[in-house]
Amino acid sequence: MARRGGPKFRRPIAAPRGGVYVGPARLPAGRAHRRGKGGMEAESCASRPSPPISCSLPSDCASAEQPTCPPDFARPAILPASPALLEFDDDEDLEVFSKDASLTEVNSFSPLMPTSPSSMINQYRFEDEPELKDLFITVDDPESHITAIETFITYRVVTKTSRGEFDSSEYEVRRRYQDFLWLKGRLEEAHPTLIIPPLPEKFIMKGVVERFNDEFIATRRKALHKFLNRIADHPTLTFNEDFKIFLTAQAWELSSHKKQGPGFLSRMGQTVKAVASSMRGGAVKNRPEAFTDMNDYLDVFSQKISLLDKISHRVYKEEKDYFYELKEFGPIHTLWSASEEDLVDTLKGVASCIDQCCRATELRVAALSESLFPTINEYVLYSEILTGVLKRRDHIQAELDSKVDAVYNKKAENDMLSEEIGKLEDKVECANNALQADWDRWKQSMRLDMKSAFGDVAENNIRYYEQCLATWESFLTSQTTDLCLEENSEDQP
């Protein structure tokens, strides 16, 4: 793809595999600058036509129907590109990037090019310009509430934003865990084939017995903070109306909004339908190979992340036992020095070194529980969420397969089902595109999170061993110096 003169531009996102357009033209006002590689959900994509775009598609997309340009649209000549420029990475197959070529006669501000705000601002973004964040959420200040019926914790949720759809730039509300559960449920209903971030377990977390002790509350607060910020960073979920209400409405307003949702019988019907679909989830006939690969990947991922969870907790237990042993060794050497007059300084030095290593071990154990455990536990929950998302996609596919089979076997009138089959085909295509884009985004996020978590563990281990090594080297050096001085004093007459 050619680069025009002037600053480097990034082209708009083009049509993914399947021919459904998910580019900037579908964004509501204020969303164009929040474009990410994960794409956005395409559930309403069929209703908007694709704008004319000339691009080089990957080889497996070459057979897709290409949009045509109207007669009055002047296309610039496309220069020959080398094969290396036509290779797309998996994470970038939904974007068209400007390449290292130039057009000599047409620059980005040429009169031949469109200069309307929609074409110059909404469809283009400076490549070196950082992606601006316009929504900041903090979860803090847990408070315990005791009533005659129940005891629960509320958390303060502070939101700061520059978005135009918010009436104010800052909000402060209090939410309990049930409110977070409600938000997660509403997001799953509105976006069944998107990967909704997980919430922490409701009652018992590993290593925590008491439900309302300080450690449990602190761990849950961090998990709830990450939950809301993952939603805020998602290119589609961040603009969900229920999410906005969750952040801005007072307690009584949120309770009133909850009552406007589906009734008990409707929710019960949805639950029965979901259970039935999960029972026949493996009977999908025409599942695309990409989603079969997702299922296989998820099976392996679930096994590995569960194994990592077990190993990390075993390492944590061993490190904690070692810490408690070190805690006892220091005082023991101090008491020992009282009965050894010739070794008082040496034994006290050993006790001091053990105390310093004990403090370093305590910091190392705390770093394990603060950085590694939350990440691994979050992705253990993610594996369950991904299983549900793939089952919901298979359910949509199974509905389409059953209608097609009914027509093929002439069990129903073709005219009655043709329109319904057409709608289901659009629904399946949009679900596939949405899940594929979110899957790629999730995998990229997972790799970064795992790399960061294990990188922090490695850095903490290096810092720990360097500190302990320096402590003992300093002690041994001092002992060697004292021994040399004693020998010199004995040699002198």
**Residue 94, helix vs strand vs coil:** coil
Residue 145 backbone phi and psi in degrees, to 5: -125, 125
Contacts by 196-202 with C-beta closer than 8 Å and gap 24+?
A: 196/231, 196/237, 196/385, 197/226, 197/227, 197/230, 197/231, 197/234, 198/227, 198/378, 198/381, 198/382, 198/384, 198/385, 199/223, 199/224, 199/227, 199/381, 200/224, 200/227, 200/377, 200/381, 201/381, 202/177
Element (H, E) at 256: helix 251-259
Distance from C-alpha of 294 to C-alpha of 358, rounded to nearest angstrom: 45
**Helix-helix angle 344-367:414-491, to 10 degrees:** 170
CB-CB contact of 37 with 94 (8 Å): yes
- Determine whether 190 is exposed, middle or buried from the number of CB atoms within 10 Å of its CB (0-12, 13-18, 19+): middle
164, 31 contact by CB (below 8 A): no
Is 427 within 8 Å of 397 (Cβ atoms)?
A: no
pLDDT per residue rounded down to tens, the chain (493 residues): 444 444 443 444 444 444 433 343 334 444 434 444 444 444 444 444 444 434 333 434 433 444 444 444 344 444 444 444 334 444 444 333 333 433 333 333 333 444 433 333 344 343 343 457 889 999 999 998 888 888 889 999 999 999 999 999 999 999 999 999 999 999 999 999 999 999 988 755 444 445 678 888 888 999 999 999 999 999 999 999 999 999 999 989 998 888 876 544 444 445 445 545 544 444 677 788 999 999 999 999 999 999 999 999 999 999 999 999 999 988 898 898 888 888 888 889 999 999 999 999 999 999 988 889 999 999 999 999 999 999 999 998 888 888 877 777 765 556 666 777 888 888 889 999 999 999 999 999 999 999 999 999 999 999 999 999 999 999 988 887 666 655 555 555 5
Q: Give the pair of three-digit tokens for residue 71.
A: 């007669």
User: What's the alpha-carbon Rg for the chain, to the nearest Å?
Assistant: 30
Sign for the CA dihedral angle at 63, 65, 66, 69 comes to positive
